[in-house]
Each structure stands twice: as C-alpha cells, then as structure tokens.
Amino acid sequence: MSSIKKIALADYSIFVGSAWEEVKNLLQRPYSKIAVLTDENTHRLCLPLLQQQFDTSTWQILKIPAGEQHKNLSTCSEIWKAMLAGNLNRNALLINLGGGVIGDMGGFCAGTYKRGIDFIQMPTTLLSQVDASIGGKLGIDFEYVKNCVGLFQNPQAVFIFPEFLETLDQREVRSGFAEMIKHSLIADARQWEKLSSLIALDVSQLTSMLPASLQIKKKIVEEDPFEKGIRKALNFGHTIGHAIESWLLPSKTPLLHGEAIAIGMICENYLSHQMLDLPQADMEKITQFILTIYGKTAIPTSSYDQLIQLMRKDKKNEAMEINCTLLHQIGEAAINQDIPEAAIRKSLDYYNSL
C-alpha cells in the first residue's frame, strides 16, 4: 500500500493511507470505552477491516440503517440510548465508520453526548473523505431542512483508508470525484491539469490525488472557519447543482450529490465565461471533461421556474438576483456573484444544448 500522508490542521490531523499504527497510537489513550458507529453497509463491508487490526471484543458496535433519510433526530435518539445502555461516560471514544451520514450524525451525537466526548472520523466514501473530513461541520436533517441542527466541532483525528473505497459503488466514487474537480477549479490549476488527464477513476490514482484536494479545503476552511467569506468558494457548482439535486429528489431518477454538482459546475462554468474572464477554451475543456465522466441528464425547460425558485431558497438569496460562486480563471474563484435570472436560464440552455 502507498505511503501515508499526514495533513496537520490546527487541532487534529488527517492521515491518508493505511495508517493503522496511528490509529493504534490514538487508541492507547486512556479511553474508558470504545464505540464504533456503522451503517448496515459499512458494518458488513468496512468493520471487518477494523476487526482484522484490533481486538474489538470489548468495543461497543452500533449499527443504524443506511441512507440520508435516517440522518435525523430519531436515529440520534437511538444512538444516544445505545451509548447510555453501553455505559459510555465522558471519557469514551466514538469511531465514526462510514460515509458523510455517519460522520455528520456520529460526530453530532458524540459532540453533544455528556456535553461532548472524543470522536474520530473514518470516512469510507470518496465524498466524505474529500469533503466532510475537513471543516468540523456536524449535524442532522430536521423538518426536511438539510443539516438544520448541528455544531462545529473537530474530531481527534481523521483516517482516510483507501481500502474502504474498494467496495464502494462506482457511481458513489464518481459522485465524490465532483468535489475533487471543484477543489481544483476554485484553487489549484495544477491539480486541475492532473485530474483532467485522468482516464479512469481507480482507487490508487484517486488516493494519490486526495492530499492535494484536502490541502485546498484545509486552506480555505482555516482562513474562514465560520463561512463568513472565502469559504463560499466551496459553493462553486452548488447554487445550480443543489437546485437540480432537490428538484430530482422526489423523482424516479434522483441524482447523487456530486452528479448534480457536476451539472451545476458546467452551468456555472458557462456563466464564468459569460460574466467574468474565464476563457472560452477553458470553459469548453471543463465542460467536456465533466460530460465525459458524468454524461448528460435532461433538464426540461418546463422545470426552469421551479429550479429558479429552489435557487432563491438557497441560503441568503432573497434578492432578485441569484448568488453564485464563479471562476475568474481556472484555479481562482469569484465569490458573491449576483446573477440575473435570465443568465441562469441561459446557462441551463447551454447545458441542454451540449
């Protein structure tokens, strides 16, 4: 297996690679008890890898159903009940073994149980490895509002083991890759050159590109931990992408988050050319690369009104114009761009014309 890369943040580190020794060191701390939170898939596919490395006979293993629809208060209640029943006290440690749902909800449960116990993140999807692993955002959905209740709190450490990706569905891998594309486009032209020359999304190539991607998010989050300014750069592709994701959610063919963001990035890349200085050749290269990986999804003109409405609901968009993060050029984001509705519609037309 490849070497281990350590990314040090102010109060914890992220390890990329098979850093079992580092996990062992951390578990040597005088924790009163160790618990692991899994969902039904990571229980079956990822937990055995942990069990090969550690004697888990004294650990408390928690298993919840998989999926975003379970990232809610009633699942938290089950988790807290299990923690109580397992006699976890203030000095216990929770290992969150799973994708972003487990990381966000497990972190939230740990961060609030007994006013906060230690937790470590072991993200097992590419999306959670590259995105949810930095930034300290924890939480759950509430009353149909995504990530409505939560807190900012950092884990003791994050362990990104490439081996977990081996069992992940290729569609999920592709979805997570969209966030890596985004990181490169908003902040690192050299990383974009590397990513855009990839032919296949295989685990070893992706893993070798993860540290640079994480460095980008780290730099942005450290500059702006509470999303007052530059952290908005991470919204590139998300104003339009989120609307498409929400619009397709109740349909028979919903998109995964990254798949919707990929469409959003094509549209917002078009807007970057139309409204800012992104050269046409770069715009076309970005569009072609994203299309090659994600293919096309039809967005009928009849859905535009609804999409625009969804975009207006997105965060602080009460004004007439719609707030997006665009690109000045590859590797440089332009936050807080107010885009007229007509331009948004044209960007959707552009996508449909491809």
Residues that bind ligand NAD (CB under 6 A): 39, 41-42, 45-46, 66-68, 71, 98-102, 104, 124-125, 127-128, 131-132, 135, 137, 147, 164, 167-168, 172
DSSP output for 106-173: HHHHHHHGGG--EEEEEE-SHHIIIIITSS-EEEEEETTEEEEEEEE---SEEEE-GGGGGGS-HHHH
Shortest CB 268 distance to ligand NAD, Å: 18
- Minimum CB distance to ligand NAD smaller for 66 or for 271: 66
Catalytic residue among 238, 245, 268, 269: 238
Catalytic (active site) residue 227: yes
Instruction: Count the Cβ atoms, other than its own, within 10 Å of residue 205.
Output: 14
**DSSP-derived secondary structure letter, 2:** P
- Minimum CB distance to ligand NAD smaller for 97 or for 266: 97
- Minimum CB distance to ligand NAD smaller for 241 or for 271: 241
Q: Give the integer Cα–Cα distance in Å for 280 and 145.
A: 37
Point out which residues pair with 13 in neighbouring strands. 8, 157
Taken as a whole, the chain contains a residue count of 354
DSSP output for 229-276: SGGGGGGTTHHHHHHHHHHHTTSSSPPPHHHHHHHHHHHHHHHHHHHS
CA nearest to 105, candidates 143, 148, 50? 148
Shortest CB 203 distance to ligand NAD, Å: 11
Catalytic residue among 43, 96, 179, 259: 179
Counts for the chain of helices (H) and strands (E), in that order: 14, 11
Catalytic (active site) residue 231: yes
Catalytic (active site) residue 90: no
- Minimum CB distance to ligand NAD smaller for 91 or for 167: 167
Catalytic (active site) residue 223: no
CA atoms within 13 A on the CB side of 168: 25
Catalytic (active site) residue 238: yes
Catalytic residue among 174, 217, 218, 273: 217
SS3 state of residue 98: strand
Catalytic (active site) residue 219: no
- Minimum CB distance to ligand NAD smaller for 39 or for 118: 39
Shortest CB 322 distance to ligand NAD, Å: 22
Residue with the closest Cβ to ligand NAD? 100
CA nearest to 220, candidates 311, 103, 135? 135
CA nearest to 7, candidates 175, 152, 129, 97? 129
Catalytic residue among 115, 228, 252, 316: 115
Catalytic residue among 172, 257, 259, 269: 257
Catalytic (active site) residue 179: yes
Catalytic residue among 218, 242, 245, 268: 242
Catalytic (active site) residue 43: no
Shortest CB 163 distance to ligand NAD, Å: 9
- Minimum CB distance to ligand NAD smaller for 119 or for 350: 119
So which residues are the catalytic ones?
115, 137, 179, 217, 227, 231, 235, 238, 242, 257
